[in-house]
C-alpha cells in the first residue's frame, strides 16, 4: 500500500469502519476457516471441556502414560486451584524434540538464531538441538542437579538459554529464567526465593552495540548467595572474564565432556516445569509456577491456532525468553509443534531502525509476533525503513504485551501486513501460560484495537462496580470463570498470595486488567486496574519502584504512577518527598534513578522524578494515587472532589510543578 493510500485508509477506518474481514485467500488455507467453525469449536470447548482437552492432549502431545483425570478445580476453596491431566506422565523436552526425530522434521530447523552482529547466525536442526539439550542435561546431572531442583538461567537471547530450559525440563529440574536486563539485586532475590543452587549465565551480552557485563552482575548477586555452588558460564564474547575457582565453570568445556544420550525423566503432568517471576502490587515479585502437562498443551495448542502455524513457517516471536511470551511461543509452543522458531538477540532500532525488516527478509519470516511498543517505535521512525526490504513472506502478524491503539493496529496491518496479513492482538499474562483472548486468524473478523474473542476453553467475564456482570460496553474487572490448562499451578511457596491476588472473590480468577465487552461480544482491554505499570511491555509494580526510592536516606515518601508515554505506552512518574534538611539537587535525582536501576534494572528507570513538598492524602493518611495519576497524565480538568484531602492546596502545587517539570 502506498503511503498516501495508507494514510487515507487509516483515516477512513478510524472514522467510519469498525471491522476488517480476513482475506478469502487466508481463510481458505487457515486451520480454522470461518466464524462458524470457530464458534462450533469454542462451544465444544465450553460445553464439554474434559472431552475437548482430552482430545487436544491426545492429538498434540506424546504421553508416557495417560492421565487419570482431565480437569480438577475449585475456585471457591480455601486454597483455590486448577489441575490438568493428573496421573498423566510426559516430558516437555521429549515433546519438543525427541518425537520430531523419527520423520522429516529430523533435519528441519528448530531454532534459527540471529545474533546482534549480523554475521552471527546459528541454525539448530531438531537433531542438533536434541543433542545439545541431552549434553546440557548430562552436564547438569553431573553437577548434582536432580529432579525438582531449581536452576536459575540468567542469559541473554542466545541458543544456550533455550537449550538450558529444555535440559532442565529433560531431567525434571525446574528452570527459573531471569531476564538478563534485571539488576544484581533482582537476580539475587530470585535466586534466594527459588532456592536455586546452580546458576547459568554468560560472560557478556550485546545490547544495541554496547557490551553488557553479565558475569560481573551475576558475581555481585552470587556474593550474596552462598547457597549457589556452581555457576556455569557461556562464553558469548571472547574477552577476559573473572572466574571463581571451584564455583565457576565454562559451559563449552563441560559440554565437550558429555555424551548426547540422556533419557528424559517421566514427569507427572502436574509437576512444576518452571518458575517465572513477575510483578504485582507488592514490592516483592511473585514466582509464578507452571506445570509440565497443562502448560505445555496450552502453549502448543495456542501456538498452532492463534498463529495458524504451518509446517513450513518461520515463526518469529520477538519477545525475550526472560518473559512468559518467550517461554510459551519462542520455545515451548513452537517446538512442541515442530515449527521453526527464530531467536533474535538484537533490538529493533540497532544499527538502524530497519533491523526487524532486514531479519524478516533474510530468513523469509512468515509469522511475526511482536509488541505494541516496538510497533509504535517503528511507526515513529517512519515507513521508509520498511520499504527498502522485501517482507512479502509475512502472512500473519501478532501483537502482545499491552493494549494496542486502533491507530497502531492499522499501521501494523497496512504498513507491515500490506492489508494482506491478519493481525491477532493477543491478550494474556504470565499467570495464564498462553493466549486467552484473540482474533483467530482467518476465522474471526478483526476490530482494530480489540483483543476480540476468547480462546477455546476460556470463559472471561467483565464484572461491573456492583459485583455483577457488567452491561454491554460497561467497563469493569476482567475475570475468568473457569480454569484453562495453561493456568498457573500457583505462586512458588506462597499459597496465600495466590489466593489473595487472584481469588479475592471466590468463584473466579481476577486478572488485574480492566475491560469492556461490546455489542458483538468483543473484549476491549483498558489496562491494569491494580498498581502495576506496563512500560514498553514490561510489567513493573509501582511498589517495587517506590521501595527502591525510599531506600535512599533522604527520601521521606515516594509514590509512583504510570502515565501515557508515546513510545513506551506507559512512562514511570515518581513523586518524592524528602526528609527535613535534605538537599534537592541533580545529585539526589541521579542517586534516586541509580537506586532504581540497581534494585530492579534499567527497564524501571523513572522518566520523571517530581520532588514535592507533600503528597495528596486523605484525612486518614492514605495517598490518593488517583489524583497523582491524573496530574502525571495532565488530565486535571476532572480531578473530582479534592475537599476530602487533609491538605487540598497540595494538589494545585503539584499541578504547577508538573507544568514546570515537563514544560
Interaction pattern, residues 305-324, with ligand PRX; x per rule: CB under 6 A: ------------------xx
Regarding 278 and contact with ligand PRX (CB under 6 A), the answer is yes
Regarding 400 and contact with ligand PRX (CB under 6 A), the answer is yes
Q: Other C-beta atoms within 10 Å of 62: how many? A: 12
Interaction pattern, residues 525-564, with ligand PRX; x per rule: CB under 6 A: x--x-----x----x-------------------------
Nearer to ligand PRX, 395 or 538 (CB): 538
**Region from 16-24, 342-350, 494-502, 510-518 binding ligand PRX, contact rule CB under 6 A:** 510-518
Beta carbons of 126 and 111 less than 8 angstroms apart: no
Supply the minimum distance, in Å, between the C-beta of residue 286 and ligand PRX. 11
Contact with ligand PRX (CB under 6 A) among 94, 427, 502, 516 = 427
447 to 486, contacts with ligand PRX by CB under 6 A? Answer: 451
**Region from 131-139, 203-211, 332-340, 395-403 binding ligand PRX, contact rule CB under 6 A:** 395-403
Beta carbons of 298 and 290 less than 8 angstroms apart: no
Beta bridge partners of 515: 476, 525
Regarding 513 and contact with ligand PRX (CB under 6 A), the answer is yes
Contact with ligand PRX (CB under 6 A) among 185, 271, 425, 570 = 425
Residues with Cβ < 8 Å from 269, sequence gap 6 or more? 67, 84, 85, 86, 87, 88, 89, 90, 291, 292, 293, 294
Beta carbons of 417 and 3 less than 8 angstroms apart: no
Residues with Cβ < 8 Å from 604, sequence gap 6 or more? 535, 538, 540, 544, 545, 548, 572, 596, 597
Q: How many residues bind ligand PRX (CB under 6 A)?
A: 22
**Region from 85-93, 134-142, 344-352, 422-430 binding ligand PRX, contact rule CB under 6 A:** 422-430
Supply the minimum distance, in Å, between the C-beta of residue 528 and ligand PRX. 5
Nearer to ligand PRX, 88 or 454 (CB): 454
Supply the minimum distance, in Å, between the C-beta of residue 367 and ligand PRX. 16
Regarding 275 and contact with ligand PRX (CB under 6 A), the answer is no
428 to 447, contacts with ligand PRX by CB under 6 A? Answer: 428-430
Name the DSSP letter for residue 332.
Answer: I
Regarding 396 and contact with ligand PRX (CB under 6 A), the answer is no
Nearer to ligand PRX, 206 or 369 (CB): 369
In 518-602 the beta strands, taken as DSSP E runs, fall at: 523-528, 532-535, 538-541, 555-565, 569-578
Cα–Cα distance measured from residue 61 to residue 82, given in angstroms and rounded to the nearest whole number: 20
Regarding 516 and contact with ligand PRX (CB under 6 A), the answer is no
Supply the minimum distance, in Å, between the C-beta of residue 514 and ligand PRX. 9
Peptide bond into 180 cis (omega under 30): no
Nearest alpha-carbon partner for 91 in 262, 276, 320: 262
Nearer to ligand PRX, 203 or 430 (CB): 430
Nearest alpha-carbon partner for 255 in 319, 200, 337: 200
Cα–Cα distance measured from residue 352 to residue 463, given in angstroms and rounded to the nearest whole number: 45
% helix, strand, coil for the chain, step of 5 = 35, 25, 40
Where does this chain bind ligand PRX (CB under 6 A)? 278, 323-325, 400-403, 425-430, 451, 511-513, 525, 528, 534, 539
Amino acid at each position: 500500500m502506498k503511503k498516501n493510500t495508507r494514510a487515507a485508509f487509516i483515516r477512513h477506518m478510524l472514522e467510519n469502519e469498525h471491522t476488517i474481514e480476513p482475506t478469502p485467500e487466508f481463510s481458505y488455507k487457515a486451520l480454522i476457516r470461518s466464524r462458524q467453525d470457530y464458534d462450533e469449536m469454542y462451544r465444544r470447548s465450553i460445553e464439554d471441556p474434559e472431552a475437548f482437552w482430552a482430545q487436544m492432549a491426545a492429538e498434540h502431545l506424546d504421553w508416557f502414560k495417560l492421565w487419570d483425570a482431565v480437569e480438577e478445580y475449585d475456585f471457591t476453596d480455601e486454597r483455590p486451584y486448577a489441575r490438568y491431566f493428573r496421573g498423566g506422565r510426559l516430558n516437555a523436552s521429549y515433546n519438543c524434540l525427541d518425537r520430531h526425530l523419527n520423520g522429516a522434521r529430523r533435519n528441519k530447523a528448530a531454532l534459527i538464531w540471529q545474533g546482534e552482529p549480523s554475521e552471527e547466525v546459528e541454525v539448530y536442526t531438531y537433531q542438533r538441538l536434541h543433542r545439545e539439550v541431552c549434553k546440557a542435561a548430562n552436564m547438569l546431572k553431573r553437577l548434582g542437579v536432580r529432579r525438582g531442583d531449581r536452576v536459575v538461567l540468567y542469559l541473554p537471547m542466545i541458543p544456550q538459554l533455550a537449550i538450558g530450559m529444555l535440559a532442565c525440563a529433560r531431567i525434571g529440574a525446574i528452570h527459573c529464567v531471569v531476564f538478563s536486563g534485571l539488576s544484581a539485586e533482582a537476580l539475587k532475590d530470585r535466586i534466594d526465593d527459588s532456592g536455586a543452587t546452580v546458576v547459568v549465565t554468560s560472560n557478556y551480552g550485546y545490547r544495541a552495540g554496547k557490551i553488557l557485563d553479565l558475569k560481573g552482575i551475576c558475581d555481585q548477586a552470587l556474593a550474596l548467595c552462598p547457597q549457589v555452588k556452581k555457576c556455569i558460564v557461556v562464553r558469548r564474547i571472547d574477552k577476559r572474564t573473572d572466574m571463581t575457582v571451584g564455583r565457576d565453570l565454562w559451559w563449552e568445556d563441560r559440554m565437550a565432556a558429555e555424551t548426547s544420550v540422556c533419557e528424559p525423566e517421566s514427569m507427572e503432568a502436574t509437576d512444576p516445569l518452571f518458575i517465572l517471576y513477575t510483578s504485582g502490587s507488592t514490592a516483592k515479585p511473585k514466582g509464578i509456577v507452571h506445570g509440565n502437562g497443562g502448560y505445555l498443551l496450552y502453549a502448543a495448542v495456542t501456538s498452532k491456532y492463534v498463529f495458524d502455524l504451518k509446517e513450513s513457517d518461520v515463526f518469529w516471536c520477538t519477545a525475550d525468553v526472560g518473559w512468559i511470551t518467550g517461554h510459551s511461543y519462542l520455545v515451548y509452543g513452537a517446538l512442541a509443534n515442530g515449527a521453526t522458531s527464530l531467536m533474535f538477540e538484537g533490538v529493533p532500532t540497532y544499527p538502524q531502525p530497519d533491523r526487524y525488516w532486514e531479519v524478516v527478509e533474510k530468513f523469509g519470516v512468515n509469522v511475526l509476533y511482536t509488541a505494541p511498543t516496538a510497533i509504535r517505535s517503528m511507526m515513529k521512525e517512519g515507513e521508509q525503513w520498511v520499504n527498502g526490504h522485501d517482507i512479502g513472506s509475512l502472512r500473519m502478524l501478532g501483537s502482545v504485551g499491552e493494549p494496542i491503539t486502533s491507530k497502531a493496529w492499522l499501521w501494523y496491518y497496512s504498513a507491515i501486513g500490506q492489508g494482506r496479513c491478519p493481525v491477532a492482538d493477543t491478550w494474556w499474562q504470565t499467570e495464564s501460560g498462553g493466549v486467552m483472548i484473540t482474533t483467530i486468524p482467518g476465522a474471526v473478523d478483526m476490530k482494530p484495537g480489540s483483543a476480540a474473542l476468547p480462546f477455546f476453553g476460556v470463559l472471561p467475564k467483565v464484572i461491573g462496580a456492583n459485583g455483577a456482570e457488567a452491561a454491554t460496553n460497561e467497563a469493569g474487572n476482567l475475570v475468568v470463570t473457569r480454569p484453562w490448562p495453561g493456568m498457573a499451578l500457583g505462586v512458588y511457596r506462597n499459597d496465600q498470595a495466590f489466593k489473595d491476588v487472584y481469588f479475592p472473590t471466590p468463584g473466579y480468577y481476577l486478572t488485574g486488567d480492566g475491560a469492556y465487552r461490546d455489542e458483538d461480544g468483543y473484549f476491549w482491554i483498558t489496562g491494569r486496574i491494580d498498581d502495576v505499570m506496563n512500560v514498553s511491555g514490561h510489567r513493573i509494580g509501582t511498589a517495587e519502584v517506590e521501595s527502591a526510592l525510599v531506600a535512599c536516606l533522604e527520601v521521606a515518601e515516594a509514590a509512583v504512577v504510570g502515565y501515557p508515554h508515546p513510545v513506551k505506552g506507559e512512562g514511570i512518574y515518581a513523586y518524592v518527598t524528602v526528609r527535613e534538611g535534605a538537599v534537592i539537587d541533580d545529585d539526589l535525582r541521579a542517586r534516586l534513578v541509580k537506586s532504581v536501576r540497581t534494585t530492579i534494572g534499567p527497564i524501571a528507570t523513572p522518566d520523571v522524578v517530581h520532588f514535592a513538598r507533600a503528597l495528596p492524602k486523605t484525612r486518614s493518611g492514605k495517598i490518593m494515587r488517583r489524583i497523582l495519576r491524573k496530574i502525571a497524565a495532565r488530565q486535571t480538568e476532572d480531578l473530582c472532589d479534592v475537599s476530602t484531602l487533609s491538605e487540598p492546596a497540595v494538589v494545585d502545587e503539584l499541578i504547577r510543578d508538573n507544568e514546570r517539570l515537563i514544560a
